[in-house]
């Protein structure tokens, strides 16, 4: 990871700061757009902010609250900076970094899906480009955003709940044995694999994702992006380590 050199000054430094803080605002929006910010997400965001020189917890809170309380003018301005500065090869890097952050937990929720699509339009990615980038960066196809305004969706949710309740009762005695099941499921999801994928597949998926999300690639986007990629990379590595050990 790169560390900001204390002697850096002048225009370049200022430009870097503007890009970094704009990307932080965008990442804060990604982190808060699903309506809640859990401790894991907060810790991750804090680490990213700190690496780009923002260490005061109040400043970090302020950055997050721009998205949380929908300061649209700030988001608008941040988006303009990102559009301006993330053209060409940087556009691709920015999208890869954002995708890595969005599927932090192996799940892409609907708001994140819409937000990634918004970013894709912002930096000028076509549908085809974005779909293939998403597939490369996650190992799975980009899902359609869920339509929460349809009765069919909610009927499905209720049915799912019923099933889950029933299966939970059945598997009560199996719980001890299944202690690690959620973690393992999440680990497969982070690597973009189905449960029960072979060791070989796990290894291949890890190599591919590690290459894409390797922090060194993101240095041209500034410290915040490098830190975001680092966090994504660490998660991918942890998932891999877990699967190698237990699966």
Partner 1 sequence: MRDLYTRLGVSHTASPEEIKMAIEKCANAGVKADAEAVLLNARAKPAYDRLNSFLGDVGTLRASLGLNHGAHWVASDTNDYTKEAASGRSEGMNAAKSSTPDRSKSKSKNEKVKPASGGVFSIVTRYWYPVLLIGAVAWALFQADWRQPEHEATAPQEPSFSEPVVPFPVTGTARYPDGAEGVAPLKIKTSPGSDYYVKLVEPPSDRPVMEVFVKGGTTVEVSAPLGSYEMRYATGKTWYGPEHFFGPETSYSKADQLFAFSRDYRGTSGYTVTLYTVQNGNLRTESLPRSQL
49 binds partner 1 (CB under 8 A): no
Kind and range of the H or E run holding 209: helix 199-212
72 binds partner 1 (CB under 8 A): yes
User: CA angle 38-42-44, nearest 5°?
Assistant: 120
212 binds partner 1 (CB under 8 A): no
156 binds partner 1 (CB under 8 A): no
Rounded distance, CA 229 to CA 237, Å? 12
**By the 8 A CB rule, do 232 and 47 touch?**
no
Quick note: the x/- pattern for partner 1 over 96-115, rule CB under 8 A, is --------------xx--xx
Stretch that binds partner 1, among 18-26, 53-61, 179-187, 202-210 (CB under 8 A): 18-26
Cβ 228 to partner 1 shortest distance, Å: 18
Quick note: the x/- pattern for partner 1 over 161-190, rule CB under 8 A, is ------------------------------
Nearer to partner 1, 125 or 233 (CB): 125
Residue with tokens 């699966």: 247
Contacting partner 1 (CB under 8 A), which of 43, 127, 178, 181?
127
Rounded distance, CA 34 to CA 42, Å? 13
The torsion of the CA quartet 4, 7, 12, 14, rounded to 10 degrees, works out to 80
Rounded distance, CA 27 to CA 1, Å? 18
How many CB atoms are closer than 10 A to CB 117? Answer: 16
Three-class secondary structure of residue 104 per DSSP: coil
Stretch that binds partner 1, among 43-51, 93-101, 118-126, 218-226 (CB under 8 A): 118-126
126 binds partner 1 (CB under 8 A): yes
Question: Token pair for residue 61?
Answer: 């809170």
**By the 8 A CB rule, do 32 and 65 touch?**
no
37 binds partner 1 (CB under 8 A): no
Contacting partner 1 (CB under 8 A), which of 151, 170, 177, 245?
151
Stretch that binds partner 1, among 51-59, 141-149, 183-191, 237-245 (CB under 8 A): 141-149
Q: 191: closest CA among 155, 139, 113, 124?
A: 139
Rounded distance, CA 25 to CA 30, Å? 9
Nearer to partner 1, 46 or 110 (CB): 110
User: CA angle 211-230-190, nearest 5°?
Assistant: 65
Contacting partner 1 (CB under 8 A), which of 87, 171, 211, 220?
87
Nearer to partner 1, 147 or 172 (CB): 147
Name the residues that contact partner 1, by CB under 8 A: 18, 21-22, 25, 33-35, 66, 70, 72-81, 83-85, 87, 110-111, 114-115, 117-118, 120-122, 124-127, 130, 144-145, 147-151, 154-155, 157
């Amino acid at each position: 990871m790169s560390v900001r050199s204390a002697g850096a000054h002048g225009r370049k430094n200022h430009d870097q700061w503007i890009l970094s803080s704009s990307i932080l605002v965008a990442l804060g929006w990604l982190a808060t757009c699903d309506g809640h910010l859990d401790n894991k997400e907060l810790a991750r965001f804090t680490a990213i902010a700190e690496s780009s020189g923002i260490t005061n917890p109040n400043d970090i809170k302020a950055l997050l609250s721009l998205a949380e309380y929908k300061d649209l003018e700030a988001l608008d301005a941040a988006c303009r900076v990102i559009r301006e500065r993330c053209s060409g090869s940087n556009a691709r890097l920015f999208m890869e970094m954002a995708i890595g952050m969005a599927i932090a937990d192996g799940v892409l929720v609907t708001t994140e899906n819409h937000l990634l699509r918004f970013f894709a339009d912002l930096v000028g990615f076509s549908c085809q480009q974005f779909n293939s980038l998403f597939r490369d960066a996650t190992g799975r196809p980009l899902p359609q955003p869920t339509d929460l305004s349809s009765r069919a969706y909610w009927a499905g949710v209720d049915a799912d709940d019923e099933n889950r309740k029933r299966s939970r009762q059945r598997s009560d005695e199996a719980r001890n044995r299944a202690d690690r099941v959620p973690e393992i499921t999440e680990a497969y999801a982070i690597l973009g694999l189905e449960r029960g994928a072979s060791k070989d597949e796990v290894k291949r998926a890890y190599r591919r994702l590690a290459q894409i999300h390797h922090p060194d690639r993101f240095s041209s986007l500034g410290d915040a992006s490098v830190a975001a990629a680092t966090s994504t990379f660490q998660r991918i590595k942890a998932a891999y380590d877990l699967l190698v050990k237990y699966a």
